[in-house]
Chain A
Amino acid sequence: MSLQRVLRFEVFLVLALVLAYLAFQNSLAFLTTVLVYAILALSYSFIYGQAGIASMGHATLYGVASYAVAILAARELNDPLLGLLIGALVGTLTAWVTSWLFITTTRLTLAMLTIAVAQVFLEVANKAHWLTGGDDGFTGYAIKPVLGLFEFDMFGHTGYWYAAVVLVIVYAAMERVVRSDFGLIARAIKADPGRIESLGGNVRRHLMKVYCISGAVAGIAGAINAQTAAVVSLDSLGFMVSINVLIMVVLGGSRRLYGAIIGAVVFLGIQHVASNFNPHHWLFVVGALLLIVMTAMPGGLISLTERWRKPA
């Protein structure tokens, strides 16, 4: 049953990616942003939905990797796949270094510490003008063609497919981790960390591994952001990224990974459409939707699909 369900979503995802490409040829840059956020939201759903780490500073992992990939690309390390690897490594390393500070804390303490860590990184990037370009953003690097064949074009065709393929691979890989015994223990920790300790488990070590895996995926999202946008700004380390990702995951539903993808699409879709109508009040629409979802279906939008299945 489980394998069928995963495959079903993967087939659905590939179809949706093809259809979106055909339907919105003029907004490929926007669609690529959605895909980047979908990958980032997946990495957040992994720590929040599976292991219960309600971080408020997820932008750190994403932003640091974005900068690292862009800065190294400016120094000739500009092969895109190498960039993905750099992003994943830098994301993992950032996760590992910062997690010591907060990984065993919960609730408000965790929220405060993760916000503080994110602010520190933001401030460092702001002040280190010589390295990051400060608030001008970091530009002036070029990315080589993907596999030496597909050049990043100004209309974003390559960028879109590049991000789309990575999204599908990342989703399939993470879904495997979630279904493994490693994922089972993460969910058990979320349910009752003290009980895990009475079974002889090392909660801290397991949570750090979970956070590092999330860091790798967030780093990959950061790498694609740097490669397809050709500029990395301070926004990538900002509080709004952390909050938006949290909203996407809650909106879509955190119990299953695909909720993150749905949340990213719905959130950014509404932002895009609503801000065209009225650039000042689009947040109102998102806020209202979030309220409705959270009161009517606390499990997020994915509980709709589960509700269909139940009676059948």
Chain B
Amino acid sequence: MTRLELNSVNMRFGPLHVTRDVSFSLASGERVALIGPNGAGKTTLVNIIAGSLRHSSGLVRFEGEDVAALSTPQRARKGLVRTFQISRLFLGMTVEENVRVAALHRHQGRRVACDTIDAEVHAGLAKLQVGHLAHKVVDSLALGERRLVELSLALTMEPSLLLLDEPAAGIPHGESRMVLKAVNELPSDLTVMLIEHDMDLVFSWARRIIVLSGGAVVMDGQPDEIARDEHVQRIYFGRGDA
């Protein structure tokens, strides 16, 4: 089943053409990495899909529905959830409270028994093994732990498509292993699109890689194809005269 479909999506900021005719689709359970050099327009694309930017032209369908007119919160309620390049947690609140905020939002507008919420909070904490941090204020956590908490916020929403914007960025090497482990253990029916610069993570995790350069998709294929492709090596790894 197709979760997400992009059809010649373009994004212009005035004269700046940031996203050019991007088309691809993601099936349920896919593990896709979006890579590309700095300024390739990766985060812009995530912003378009998540709804924080409105694309200039083209079609974005989520589970068969055109989502162009839907705001970020509306898309999130449909199961299209993202994380941020720099962890965004509710500072000054405990880990448990953070996860609780997410759990409460999963049941927007519906009256739900307090026990259900409590159970979901516990499940959300257990899923990523951050239960022992429950009563810590998030400000006091290590960067890697913050990432895990952010992931558990996203998972508590029970998304069907998860966009991870550089989950390993800025995290000390020792801690990036636990983030990698968490990303590897995401539920198998969940479609995940990951933006990442860490090539070890990308090639060990992804089953499909989309290469973006200058706002356009230059390559879309399996990791070994991508690794072999000379064009990709030239634009991405800076070899040759590019």
* Cross-chain contact A198 with B82 (CB below 8 angstroms): yes
* Cross-chain contact B101 with A185 (CB below 8 angstroms): yes
Contact of B91 among A191, A198, A200 (CB under 8 A): A191
Asked if A199 is an interface residue, CB under 8 A from chain B, the answer is yes
Contact of A184 among B72, B91, B101, B108 (CB under 8 A): B101
Contact of A199 among B76, B92, B97, B117 (CB under 8 A): B76
User: How many chain-B residues does the 8 Å CB contact rule pick out?
Assistant: 29
Tell me whether A199 and B157 are in contact in the complex, defined as CB-CB below 8 angstroms, given that A185-B101, A185-B104 are known contacts: yes
The 8 closest A-B pairs by CB, nearest first: A200-B76, A200-B77, A191-B90, A199-B105, A188-B90, A188-B101, A195-B88, A197-B73
Closest to B92 in A: A191
List of A residues within 8 angstroms of B84 by Cβ: 195, 198
Asked if A306 is an interface residue, CB under 8 A from chain B, the answer is no
Asked if B119 is an interface residue, CB under 8 A from chain A, the answer is no
Asked if B202 is an interface residue, CB under 8 A from chain A, the answer is no
Min CB gap A232→B, angstroms: 39
Q: What sequence of 0s and 1s flags, for each residue 97-125 of chain B, a beta carbon within 8 Å of any chain A beta carbon?
A: 11011101110100000000100000000
List of A residues within 8 angstroms of B92 by Cβ: 187, 191
* Cross-chain contact B93 with A188 (CB below 8 angstroms): yes
Q: Name 11 interchain pairs, CB-CB below 8 A, sorted by A.
A: A184-B97, A184-B104, A185-B104, A188-B93, A195-B88, A195-B89, A197-B71, A197-B72, A199-B101, A200-B157, A201-B73
List of B residues within 8 angstroms of A153 by Cβ: none
Asked if A194 is an interface residue, CB under 8 A from chain B, the answer is yes
| Number of interchain pairs (Cβ within 8 Å) | 67
Considering the complex, which residues of chain A in the window 176-194 have a beta carbon less than 8 Å from any beta carbon of chain B?
Answer: 181, 184-185, 187-188, 191-192, 194
* Cross-chain contact B88 with A192 (CB below 8 angstroms): yes
Asked if B11 is an interface residue, CB under 8 A from chain A, the answer is no
List of B residues within 8 angstroms of A191 by Cβ: 90-93
Min CB gap B71→A, angstroms: 7
* Cross-chain contact B91 with A199 (CB below 8 angstroms): no
Asked if A202 is an interface residue, CB under 8 A from chain B, the answer is yes
List of B residues within 8 angstroms of A192 by Cβ: 88-91
A188 to B104, CA, bound (A): 12
Closest to A195 in B: B88
* Cross-chain contact B117 with A181 (CB below 8 angstroms): yes
Closest to A200 in B: B76
List of B residues within 8 angstroms of A198 by Cβ: 50, 52, 72-73, 76, 81-82, 84, 88
Asked if A117 is an interface residue, CB under 8 A from chain B, the answer is no
Closest to A255 in B: B92
* Cross-chain contact A196 with B157 (CB below 8 angstroms): no
* Cross-chain contact A181 with B104 (CB below 8 angstroms): yes
List of A residues within 8 angstroms of B89 by Cβ: 192, 195
* Cross-chain contact B90 with A187 (CB below 8 angstroms): yes
Tell me whether A200 and B105 are in contact in the complex, defined as CB-CB below 8 angstroms, given that A181-B117, A195-B88, A195-B90 are known contacts: yes
List of B residues within 8 angstroms of A202 by Cβ: 73, 108
Min CB gap A198→B, angstroms: 6
Min CB gap A201→B, angstroms: 5
* Cross-chain contact B88 with A194 (CB below 8 angstroms): yes
13 further A-B contacts with Cβ under 8 Å, apart from A185-B104, A198-B84, are A181-B117, A184-B93, A184-B104, A187-B92, A188-B90, A192-B88, A195-B90, A197-B73, A198-B72, A198-B76, A198-B88, A199-B81, A199-B105
* Cross-chain contact B100 with A181 (CB below 8 angstroms): yes
Considering the complex, which residues of chain B in the window 66-95 have a beta carbon less than 8 Å from any beta carbon of chain A?
Answer: 71-74, 76-77, 81-82, 84, 88-93
Min CB gap B122→A, angstroms: 16
Q: Which of B50, B88, B90, B104 has the largest count of A CB atoms less than 10 A from its CB?
A: B90
List of A residues within 8 angstroms of B104 by Cβ: 181, 184-185
Min CB gap A177→B, angstroms: 15
A187 to B137, CA, bound (A): 14
Min CB gap B67→A, angstroms: 13
A201 to B101, CA, bound (A): 10
List of B residues within 8 angstroms of A200 by Cβ: 73-74, 76-77, 105-106, 108, 157
A136 to B22, CA, bound (A): 69
Closest to B78 in A: A200
A195 to B76, CA, bound (A): 11
Asked if B211 is an interface residue, CB under 8 A from chain A, the answer is no
A188 to B92, CA, bound (A): 9
Asked if B153 is an interface residue, CB under 8 A from chain A, the answer is yes
List of A residues within 8 angstroms of B153 by Cβ: 199
Considering the complex, which residues of chain B in the window 151-190 have a beta carbon less than 8 Å from any beta carbon of chain A?
Answer: 153, 157
List of A residues within 8 angstroms of B74 by Cβ: 200
Closest to A199 in B: B105
A201 to B71, CA, bound (A): 11
Closest to B74 in A: A200
Q: What sequence of 0s and 1s flags, for each residue 129-152 of chain B, a beta carbon within 8 Å of any chain A beta carbon?
A: 000000000000000000000000
A192 to B150, CA, bound (A): 13
Q: What sequence of 0s and 1s flags, for each residue 234-256 of chain A, a beta carbon within 8 Å of any chain B beta carbon?
A: 00000000000000000000000
* Cross-chain contact B82 with A187 (CB below 8 angstroms): no
Closest to B153 in A: A199
Closest to A181 in B: B104
